Amino acid sequence: MKKLLVAAAVLSLGLATANAQEQVKAAWVYVGPIGDFGWSYQHNQGRLAVEEALGDKVKTSYVENVSEGPDAERVIRQLAADGNDIIFTTSFGFMNPTAKVAAMFPDKKFEHATGYKRSDNLGTYSARFYEGRYVIGKIAGRVSENGIIGYIGSFPIPEVVRGINAFKLGLESVRPSAQIKVIWVNSWFDPGKEADAAKALIDQGVDILVQHTDSPAAMQVAEQRGIHAFGQASDMIQFGPTAQLTAIVDDWSVYYTNRVKAVLDDTWAADDTWGGFSAEMVKMAPYTNMPDDVAAEARETEEAIRSGELNPFAGPIYKQNGDLAVAEGEALTDEQLLGMNWYVKGIEDKLPE
């Protein structure tokens, strides 16, 4: 009897796998708390959008606050063993653990954000946030009164340096004389320090704040001090009703929905996605607190980037030291962008080594 039951169980399990496409189990691994109102929060919004779009065809789960060490592998392995069909790991530091677990579970699908290791069942994805940074550079150049812009950076890694460069190129295109002051807080998430850096920049005379850190602290300070700022990761308008010009919003909902759908339809294949405006991975919050003609220009710029007519990193671009990085008629390749560890000409900050 017992054997029979086991056999039945095995059989039904087999059937369940064969029919797995009726319902997909999808899981997410977050590096931070979903209440960070930044990176992990937006990935979780994406997960909720998948639930919304696919209803009972999908069953989602998530693990938050997973540190980028040995813990990550344990968590990912557990999720795979629990029968999840597809697992999204959403931080660069999860790359090696994800690759390891993907090799152990060849019939499961894995997607790793911002990494570069791929295999038959491991894809990667990321977003071209720099497209948004080019747009806000133009806005800053038009809106700033004194032409001094404050920029709060997290860590001097290619992702952030690329953002500063894209911002500078956008800024330069409308106001070559503008100056950027950069402060590195050496943290992705410390609201107090972000606020301190914002205050230091304002005390030094900047009249627009750009941030590449996750909390709304800088926006709040800008609002209190009566200057303008750009939001990061989420629309932060409630923290700066008169301060926010726009925000670069991470939007993973379309991507996640498509990928989970692909698993449902059995069309999923591991690949590498690096999408921007056109893939709807990067969105701009409404253009507010600026003159209409500036907003119109911003919309045109956004549209031009979306259609491919404008490439923020089209040549000629010179490095800070005067070397030519890319000649006229060409543009920086994705590979060059991914490894960007140099400033463009005209940025006065010295890039920490």
Partner 1 sequence: MGWLEPLLLTIITASTPLLLAAIGELVAERSGVLNLGVEGMMIMGAVCAFAVAVQTDNGFLGVIAGALAGAGLSLIFAVLTVSMATNQVATGLALTLFGIGVSGVIGDGYVGVDRSPLPRLDVPGLTDLPFIGPVLFGQDALVYLSFALVIGVTWFLRRSRAGLTLRAVGDNHHSAHSLGLPVVRARYLAILFGGACAGLGGAYLSLSYTPFWVEEMTAGRGWIALALVVFASWIPWRAIVGAYLFGTITILQFHAQGAGIGIPSQLMSSLPYLATILVLVIISYERTRARANTPLCLGIPFVADR
Spatial CA neighbour of 149 closest among 132, 135, 136, 162? 136
Beta-carbon contacts of residue 231 (< 8 Å; ≥ 6 apart): 211, 216, 219, 237, 239, 240, 244, 246, 247, 248, 249, 285
Beta-carbon contacts of residue 274 (< 8 Å; ≥ 6 apart): 125, 126, 127, 128, 334
Check residue 217 for interaction with partner 1 (CB under 8 A).
yes
180 vs 263 by CB, closer to partner 1: 180
CB of 157 to partner 1, least distance (A): 12
Check residue 33 for interaction with partner 1 (CB under 8 A).
yes
CA count, 13 A, side-chain hemisphere, 144: 29
182 vs 298 by CB, closer to partner 1: 182
CB of 257 to partner 1, least distance (A): 23
φ/ψ of residue 16, rounded to 5: -60, -40
Check residue 182 for interaction with partner 1 (CB under 8 A).
yes
Binding residue for partner 1 (CB under 8 A) from 126, 220, 232, 246? 220
Check residue 37 for interaction with partner 1 (CB under 8 A).
yes
Binding residue for partner 1 (CB under 8 A) from 51, 190, 280, 330? 190
Q: Look at phi and psi of residue 266 and say left if phi exceeds 0, alpha if psi is from -120 to 50, else beta.
A: left
Exposed (0-12), middle (13-18) or buried (19+): which is 328, by Cβ within 10 Å?
A: exposed
User: Residue 2 belongs to what H/E stretch?
Assistant: helix 2-18
CB of 8 to partner 1, least distance (A): 40
CB of 228 to partner 1, least distance (A): 17
111 vs 194 by CB, closer to partner 1: 194
Check residue 193 for interaction with partner 1 (CB under 8 A).
yes
Check residue 97 for interaction with partner 1 (CB under 8 A).
no
Spatial CA neighbour of 211 closest among 195, 192, 227? 195
User: Residue 222 belongs to what H/E stretch?
Assistant: helix 217-225
SS3 breakdown of the chain: % helix, strand, coil, rounded to 5? 45, 20, 35
Binding residue for partner 1 (CB under 8 A) from 238, 242, 278, 333? 238
Check residue 323 for interaction with partner 1 (CB under 8 A).
no
Beta-carbon contacts of residue 71 (< 8 Å; ≥ 6 apart): none
Check residue 216 for interaction with partner 1 (CB under 8 A).
yes
CB of 62 to partner 1, least distance (A): 13
Binding residue for partner 1 (CB under 8 A) from 185, 249, 263, 264? 185
Residue labelled with tokens 């990912």 = 76
Check residue 231 for interaction with partner 1 (CB under 8 A).
no
Among positive and negative, which fits the CA dihedral 161, 95, 311, 230? negative
251 vs 297 by CB, closer to partner 1: 251
Check residue 122 for interaction with partner 1 (CB under 8 A).
no
Interface ranges with partner 1 (CB under 8 A): 32-38, 41, 150, 156, 181-187, 189-197, 199-201, 203-204, 215-217, 220, 224, 234, 238-239, 348-350, 352-353
